[in-house]
Structure 1
Amino acid sequence: MEDKLMRNKWWVLGFIAALCGVFFFLTTPVHADNEYDITRYHVDVNVLKNGDAELTQRITYKFDGDFHGVYYNQDLRGIKGASNVNVSVLQNGVTSNMQQAETEANNTYTLQQTNDNLRLKLFHAISDDSATFTYRYLLHGVITNYNDTAELNWKIIGEKWDVPLKNVLIKIQLPQNNIKELQGWTHGTLDGQTTVKKQAGQVLIRAKENPENQFIESHLLFPISVTPDNPNKVDKNVKQKLQQQEAELARKANEERKRSRQRTTVIKYTVLAVSLLSTVGWWLWRWRNPGNPQDSLPPLVHSYEIPLHSAEITQIIIENKDPDSKAFSAYLLELAAAKKITIEKTGSKKNDYTVSLLNESLLDKDSLLKLLFTQVGDGNSFSLKQLDKFGKKPKHSSQLYAVFSSWQKRVFREARDLGYYDQVNAGLRIAALWATIISSFLLVITIAVFWDKWWSWLLIGAIIMNIILCYSYRKRRPKYSTSGWQLFYQISCFKKMLQDIGRFDMKKVGDLILWEQILPYAVAFGLAKKVIKELRTNFSAEELETNFGVYYPIVILGATNFGTAFNNSFSSAITSSSSSISGGSGGFSGGSSGGFGGGSGGGAF
């Protein structure tokens, strides 16, 4: 009973851990080797009176794996080129200025510039660490002065990034303060925010995360007096047209945000409704499906009563699974005690035994024994040495595994035919477990969605109640019938006695005939070594040799015992086959106002 309570305890703990694992799986990205994240992307744009712009980009990478460096492409289409390039890297508090060179040495960079593109490749070896790379250069002709307004239209972050950019901050500083007619719009993801500071002559653009392959475009309008020295002039009026264009883009963006909020609200409350209905449904199902409840078993006590059934059947009843190789070892010992086979210690190997056939009718009933005697052995006997050799060939190992599986299924059916198993309760236990997992999984998702709501704590309480109800429901409905439940208790008490052997005088329990009957069960339960050790301690060699029957030479005598030796050989023989189964502050707009720089982007190598 203590074993069962311990299993239940670990089942509950394991279930809670599984729920936590599902939650963290949903909320934590999985990383592979040699990947990187960009954890911060800060850009300072200092617009000059002549229409040029001093650009400073600070990009923080977090590397997982080994990397040689990073690269960046600045799209120059639509402007007059770039100059005054300066590159540096900050790692662990140390700033290193990088030198232009073609050597590809550490802390150098290469520069390739055409009319359309500026490509920088930075060589900086780094492994499993973070570093901030800073690019400084001057961009020419970024401002256009029209008759009625000056315009900056620039995809400051291009669409050539293959990873999301986190913690994005873009600061555009104009060369004048108190610009009452300053207007600013930003195009890109709808989750960003634009702040227009007219007194400071400044525009701030923020986004918690910019998706991969998504540009961020800034479109500013301000008086031409702000850039009086700008030679890039166009003789026409565009201000009203551009304002109308941005107003239309802003209207569409706001409508999309509204639709997105509505969709999100519907989805969120649908998830809430489904999770609550599934939880209430599971609770009602539990009430309407009582099954066959069983009373709790009393505490386990030592039992010395031999189980009613054979060792292999008894193992199936208490463990409720197919018999294993230990059960088959016990089965052979029982056949030896019944004088249907003989087992002898042979050969010079410490663990070599020979099994000989006395009753040929066994081969007609048992295909596994037939294979062991006729294919592993010579038809009359087989040895563990021959079994080891036979199992080394994959074809033979697969054959042995298949026949052993048939033996397992046959013995398992024989055990089930005894009526100890309650099929109804078994089905209800599975249904209750899945109902709890599914409803709790939905509650976890709902909690993640409504984490900022005070009543999310009630959902946590519902998960705890789910676990408690599932535990109590399953505990009261074991997989055993009423008679099987009592049989399980008797076997559990018997097994506890074997587990506690050494804490009592074996002679006071019974004579060696009793322990001879017990030994196959000790083999099936994996307790043979412990029992044999105590037999040698409690009884003399003479008593064991005289009274322990056929088991003495193969189990008690020597440093090993047949049960352990056969189990090891047989398990090894089948193992190989088993592995061959508005312009003011506000949110971003969608679309684009046609700004330059869309091809900008970068990465790591």
Structure 2
Amino acid sequence: MALCGFLLFFITPAQADDTYEITQYHVDVNVLKNGDAELTQKITYDFDGDFHGVYYNQDLRGIKGVSNINVSAVQNGTTINMNQSSTGDNNTYTLEQTEDNLKIKLFHAISDETATFTYHYLLHGVVTNYKDTAELNWKIIGEKWDVPLKNVLIKIQLPQKNIKELQGWTHGKLDGQTTVKRTAGQVLIKLDENPENQFVESHLLFPNNVTPDNPNRVNKSIKKNVQRQEAELARQANEKRKRSERRSTIIKYLLLGLSLLSVGGWWLWRWRNPGNPQKPLPPVVHSYEIPEYSAEVTQAIIEDDQPNSKTFSAYLLELAAAKKIAIKKTGTKKDDYEVVLLEENLLKENKLLKVLFNEVGDGSKFSLKQLNKFGKRQRNSTKLQNSFSEWRKRVFKQARKSGYHDAVNAKLRTIALWSTLGSSSLLVVTMVVFWNTWVFWLLLLALIVNIVVCHFYRKKRPKYSKSGWQLLYRLLCFKKMLQDVGRFDMKKVGDLILWEQILPYAVAFGLAKKVIKELQTNFSTAELETNFGSYYPIFILGTGNFETAFNNSFTSAITSNSTSASGDSGGFSGGSSGGFGGGSGGGAF
């Protein structure tokens, strides 16, 4: 009679963040001559988190009961024998036994460690002696485990050796292994991993004289029916395996074909879309020629991206040099700066400046202290963010008007990148499927070639037009000169008036501190004070400089709210032969 399920053992669950694995599940079944079985289960847990103990449920339906229960644990090489107690104290266990179930709850506090728990007891009446054979039909692993069981080994030892008519079948996951050792009177069942909620059932037939003292007898013959039943289950299992293998083979080669087709398609697309290749830029050298574009536009062209907050600092310096605003040091602290409006028309064409002067300040000026305070409110920070975003877009649009951008190449570069990512991903998945075959190495070579081809395709097709490529080179040479400041005499480049024009570019490139330091080395204090214009008090005097102070204040303000078919034995098949024990299982709490 088919048996399944039992009442769940309700316990206090572990916290959601605490997890465990069962890394080894070993079962020894010693069948006695009277048809009883001594059962020893050794279950190794790997705990991640804090746990109070473990539990196990033994389904008793279909057998005659249980006795001689012993429980122990091994942790860090120390064996702990558990005592039965209703107190719930550490290293004790409780039992709740009914006609249908044995419930063992073991209290053993453990955190982030490994332990092996052993359950040993005697199950009565597990073997039935019929007229023509004795039968053991048992779901040794029940379907009530909520986690996979790894490294499963089940050993069933009969009370006699040299059993020529011993037959054994296993039902459950189809990739297990069953070994029938007739000389030893033993059956071994192995699985690398048994999935959660999946039973493992052993069905054995052997002569009645193996269990001669068994009182559990039935006066009928079953052997031929059982063999036919198991042959049919084995046939179904083999058919299922063959279907699975055919399906896997089809999927494998479809995936291989799709991978190679995707690579070939992208290579064909590359050949049909040459774009506008550019020759590599010559080595970057020093250029002392000031760019024809403002600092913020220059930075946008070099990066091919919208400018950042440092670039806005450079923009303010350009306005100061053009006498449209004034930047003043108002105290001794690093953020004691004030920006004064000198040309009111600026506010008509620049929303960000309008917010800074009219809402952060009083309409004619604003200070960095006011900016810090203004940005602390989320609504104000959002308004600054939106205004800054508009300014960045406007500058980037202005940079694009220079004609440096090649839209065709930019589009081809994007398509090439995503095509390579897609085809390479397919290649990697297919490589896993064909692991340890010659196809793997072929696919690995294709993957490497695919990535290299994409790299050179994109490298030869920059996002810059022919004129933009030449412009980029000039700008990079100018930036290179600023990066190498300190390796040449700055006076030979030009006087301080020229360096006053260059400084906003140094700010936009993030090189202001380096340039200021070298200016102080190459020019005297008198020269700087006389000839460095409005930049002297805000960069040279004091402990800080305007660029750093403004960038810190502005960045803080705009980011405050971000966030076997023959009937012989030994096979693994699906289905069930109706063995007892299907409701067994366990876990941790």
- TM-score category of the 2 structures, normalised to the smaller one: over 0.9
The answer as to 2:440 corresponding to 1:456 is yes
Q: Percent sequence identity over matched residues? A: 75
8 Å Cα contact 2:34-2:211 kept in structure 1:
yes
The answer as to 2:313 corresponding to 1:323 is no
Structure 2 residue matching 1:233: 3-state secondary structure: coil
Following superposition, which runs of at least 4 residues in structure 1 exceed 6 angstroms of deviation? none
8 Å Cα contact 1:183-1:583 kept in structure 2:
no
Q: What's 1:208 paired with?
A: 192
The answer as to 2:30 corresponding to 1:39 is no
Distance 2:562 2:135 in 1: 72
Distance 2:425 2:495 in 1: 56
* Gaps in structure 1 of 5+ consecutive residues: 1-31
Q: What's 1:53 paired with?
A: 37
8 Å Cα contact 2:352-2:391 kept in structure 1:
yes
Q: What's 1:264 paired with?
A: 248
Picking from 508, 517, 520, the partner of 2:492 is 508
Which shifted more, 118-127 or 51-60? Answer: 118-127
8 Å Cα contact 1:401-1:577 kept in structure 2:
no
Q: CA deviation at 1:583?
A: 5.0
8 Å Cα contact 1:69-1:126 kept in structure 2:
yes
* Gaps in structure 2 of 5+ consecutive residues: 1-15
Distance 1:116 1:445 in 2: 48
* Aligned residue runs from structure 1 range 280-299, under 5 A: 280-299=264-283
Q: What's 1:227 paired with?
A: 211
Distance 2:337 2:184 in 1: 94
Q: Deviations over 1:573-603 (max 9, x none)?
A: 1011332xx5544431111111100000011
Structure 2 residue matching 1:576: 3-state secondary structure: coil
Distance 1:312 1:515 in 2: 17
Q: CA deviation at 1:412?
A: 0.9
The answer as to 2:104 corresponding to 1:113 is no
Distance 1:457 1:357 in 2: 68
Picking from 36, 51, 70, the partner of 1:86 is 70
Picking from 362, 366, 370, the partner of 1:378 is 362
Q: CA deviation at 1:108?
A: 2.0
Which shifted more, 148-157 or 342-351? Answer: 342-351
8 Å Cα contact 1:185-1:583 kept in structure 2:
no
Distance 1:386 1:58 in 2: 70
Q: What's 2:7 paired with?
A: none
Q: CA deviation at 1:411?
A: 1.0
8 Å Cα contact 1:186-1:587 kept in structure 2:
yes
Q: What's 1:468 paired with?
A: 452
The answer as to 2:300 corresponding to 1:302 is no
Q: Which amino acid aligns with 2:388?
A: F
8 Å Cα contact 2:127-2:134 kept in structure 1:
yes
Q: Deviations over 1:268-327 (max 9, x none)?
A: 111111111111212222222111111111122122111110000011011121111111
Q: What's 1:530 paired with?
A: 514
8 Å Cα contact 2:53-2:588 kept in structure 1:
yes
Distance 1:486 1:556 in 2: 35
Q: Deviations over 1:20-48 (max 9, x none)?
A: xxxxxxxxxxxx94211111111111100
Distance 1:584 1:503 in 2: 88
Q: CA deviation at 1:354?
A: 1.5
Structure 2 residue matching 1:318: 3-state secondary structure: helix
The answer as to 2:391 corresponding to 1:423 is no
Picking from 558, 565, 583, the partner of 2:542 is 558
8 Å Cα contact 1:330-1:524 kept in structure 2:
yes
Which shifted more, 118-127 or 286-295? Answer: 118-127
Structure 2 residue matching 1:591: 3-state secondary structure: coil
Distance 2:183 2:545 in 1: 93
Distance 1:186 1:586 in 2: 7
Distance 1:316 1:254 in 2: 66
Distance 1:134 1:532 in 2: 75
Q: Which amino acid aligns with 1:604?
A: A
Q: What's 2:351 paired with?
A: 367
Q: Which amino acid aligns with 2:422?
A: I
Q: CA deviation at 1:567?
A: 1.1
Distance 1:357 1:396 in 2: 21
8 Å Cα contact 1:184-1:583 kept in structure 2:
no
Distance 2:570 2:258 in 1: 36
Q: Deviations over 1:179-234 (max 9, x none)?
A: 12111111111111211111211111111111100000011111111101000111
Alpha-carbon spacing, 1:587–1:498, altered in 2? closer, same or farther (3 Å): farther
Distance 2:413 2:140 in 1: 59
8 Å Cα contact 1:397-1:577 kept in structure 2:
yes
Q: Which amino acid aligns with 1:411?
A: V
Structure 1 length-normalised TM: 0.92
Q: CA deviation at 1:413?
A: 0.7
Output the aligned Cα RMSD.
1.4
Q: What's 1:345 paired with?
A: 329
Which shifted more, 253-262 or 151-160? Answer: 253-262
Q: CA deviation at 1:355?
A: 1.3
Q: Deviations over 1:460-502 (max 9, x none)?
A: 1111111211111111111111111121122112112212212
Distance 2:540 2:331 in 1: 18
8 Å Cα contact 1:193-1:585 kept in structure 2:
no
Alpha-carbon spacing, 1:584–1:96, altered in 2? closer, same or farther (3 Å): farther
Q: Deviations over 1:497-548 (max 9, x none)?
A: 2122122221122111111111001111111111111111111111001111
Q: CA deviation at 1:104?
A: 2.5
Which shifted more, 155-164 or 195-204? Answer: 195-204
8 Å Cα contact 2:126-2:136 kept in structure 1:
yes
Q: What's 2:417 paired with?
A: 433
8 Å Cα contact 1:53-1:139 kept in structure 2:
yes
Q: CA deviation at 1:333?
A: 0.7
Structure 2 length-normalised TM: 0.95
Q: What's 1:164 paired with?
A: 148
Distance 1:65 1:467 in 2: 43
Distance 1:105 1:298 in 2: 79
Which shifted more, 150-159 or 345-354? Answer: 345-354
8 Å Cα contact 1:196-1:584 kept in structure 2:
no
Structure 2 residue matching 1:549: 3-state secondary structure: coil
Picking from 228, 242, 247, the partner of 2:231 is 247
Q: Which amino acid aligns with 1:163?
A: V
Q: What's 1:495 paired with?
A: 479
Q: CA deviation at 1:107?
A: 2.2
Distance 1:297 1:37 in 2: 57
8 Å Cα contact 1:45-1:53 kept in structure 2:
yes
Q: What's 2:380 paired with?
A: 396
The answer as to 2:149 corresponding to 1:129 is no
Q: Deviations over 1:548-590 (max 9, x none)?
A: 11211222222221121111111111011332xx554443111
Q: What's 1:312 paired with?
A: 296
Aligned length: 572
